[in-house]
Amino acid sequence: MLIAPLDWGLGHATRCIPVIRHLQQQQVDVIVAAEGKIALILSEAFPGITILPLKGYRIQYSRNKRFFSFKILLQLPKILYSIRRERKWLESVIEQYQISGVISDNRFGLYSNKIPCIFITHQLQIQSGSGFLDSVIQKLNYGFINRFTECWVPDVEGNNNFAGDLSHPGLLPSVPVKYLGILSRFKKLNQPVKYAAAIIISGPEPQRSIFEKIILEQLNGFEKQVVVVRGLPDEKNPMKTENSNLTIFNHLNADELSQIMQQSQVVIARSGYSTVMDLMATGTKSILIPTPGQTEQEYLAQYLSKKQLCIHVSQDAFLLSEALSLALSFEYNFPEKASTNESVIREWIAGLKKDE
């Protein structure tokens, strides 16, 4: 079985971790296709797992949110080239590695007529800010999704969902769509509170570094215990700080990150969907700061805030002391039960084994 996450941030890789765990529990041999930070994350979670080098899309974000969409459009030829390249790559490795199925997390080119192929996404309706453009993008999106065998959506069915119109549009793809529920590598723990906040910095450059600079400036002289995780798994040199109340990590493995998040009064992070899944799975209070110009994150933060699942603050308006004070008095409305719909994965694997 081949599983391949997109390389836009680390979230696509981290949400593949529970999928790989479920596959291995079903005695399925898993091969990963990835490079760079994505490969590091998955090799750390699964020591010894076979990783085939597959170049990512390597998209760059704009420093100015007003030019975010324009910069993505400029990179469209590169994206389309990457899709064609990974399509040819898949055909070349199916026989070589005896791949019986593919699970692609948002990599559009990893489909084949030879074997069953799954496409994972929570964005069935991509938010662009323009109704007309949304409809055009959806047609293009579905044009690729419909080439796969099934589409799996990391969200729950019905109104008590976590992605709103992103995962529950009026029109679904023509291939079977199945909802996976909460897809998180974390489990809820009973941990004593040790930190006022855990601040998780993530996402593509240059916005990751911009966010980090804002956070570190506001932590200068801060008198409460705070942990910062920089989201740099390939950075070896630790960042130094003169603030004895501040602990900085370049990266933490899943168990360490889960523990620190749940030992904190509140988590401050981007509103990336994989982060949202982790927060819902653990029932952790959060302040979500969308990446400027990234319409998906802006939509998610606003949607979850209205449902009292998080506090939403824009990057330009973020003030650490004010945000922490607000979080302490905010009434969070977490779901009573948050779990993965494992039957979707089990049924698919049973079907593959039956066809062998």
Q: Phi/psi of residue 177, each to 5°? A: -110, 125
Q: Is the pLDDT of residue 255 over 80?
A: yes
pLDDT confidence bin for 341, thresholds 50/70/90: confident
Enumerate the β-bridge partners of residue 269.
200, 288
Nearest-angstrom CA–CA distance, 13 and 118: 16
**Confidence tier at 267 by pLDDT (50, 70, 90):** very high
**Over the stretch 58-78, which tens digit does the pLDDT of each residue have?**
665 555 555 555 566 666 777
pLDDT score of 146:
96
CB-side neighbour CA atoms (13 Å) of 55: 14
Mean local confidence (pLDDT), 7-15: 83
Report DSSP letters for 55-78, one per residue. --------SSGGGHHHHHHHTHHH
Q: How confident is the model at residue 125 (pLDDT cuts 50, 70, 90)?
A: confident
pLDDT digits (tens, 9 = 90+) for 149-200: 999 999 999 888 999 999 999 899 999 999 999 999 999 998 899 999 999 9
Mean pLDDT of the chain: 89
DSSP string, 72-113: HHHTHHHHHHHHHHHHHHHHHHHTTTT---EEEES-TT---S
Per the model's pLDDT, the better-predicted residue between 127 and 65 turns out to be 127
In the chain, % of residues over pLDDT 70: 91
Cβ proximity of 231 and 252 under 8 Å: no
Q: Among residues 284, 266, 263, 282, which one has the least CA distance to residue 325? A: 266
Domains and CATH numbers, the chain: 2-183+340-355 (3.40.50.2000), 197-329 (3.40.50.2000)
pLDDT at 127: 67
Could you read off the pLDDT of 85-96 as tens digits, one per residue? 999 999 999 999
pLDDT score of 124: 92
Q: Is the pLDDT of residue 259 over 90?
A: yes
Query: What does the pLDDT read at residue 294?
Result: 84
Query: What is the model's pLDDT at position 317?
Result: 93
Name the nearest CA neighbour of 229 among 5, 4, 14: 14
Peptide bond into 290 cis (omega under 30): no
Instruction: Specify the residue for token string 């008095």.
Output: 329
Q: Residue 240: which residues within 8 A CB-CB, separation 6 or more?
A: none
Number of helices (H) and strands (E), helices first, in the chain? 12, 13
| The predicted structure's pLDDT at residue 265 | 95
Q: Write out pLDDT tens, residues 194-211.
A: 999 999 998 777 888 999
Task: Give the C-alpha separation, 248 to 215, whole Å.
Answer: 12
Mean pLDDT of 10-14: 86
Residue 66 has a pLDDT of 59
State pLDDT tens for residues 273-324: 999 999 999 999 999 999 988 888 999 999 999 999 999 999 999 999 999 9
Strand partners, 267: 198, 286
**What confidence score (pLDDT) does residue 69 get?**
57
SS3 content of the chain, % helix, strand, coil (to 5): 40, 15, 45
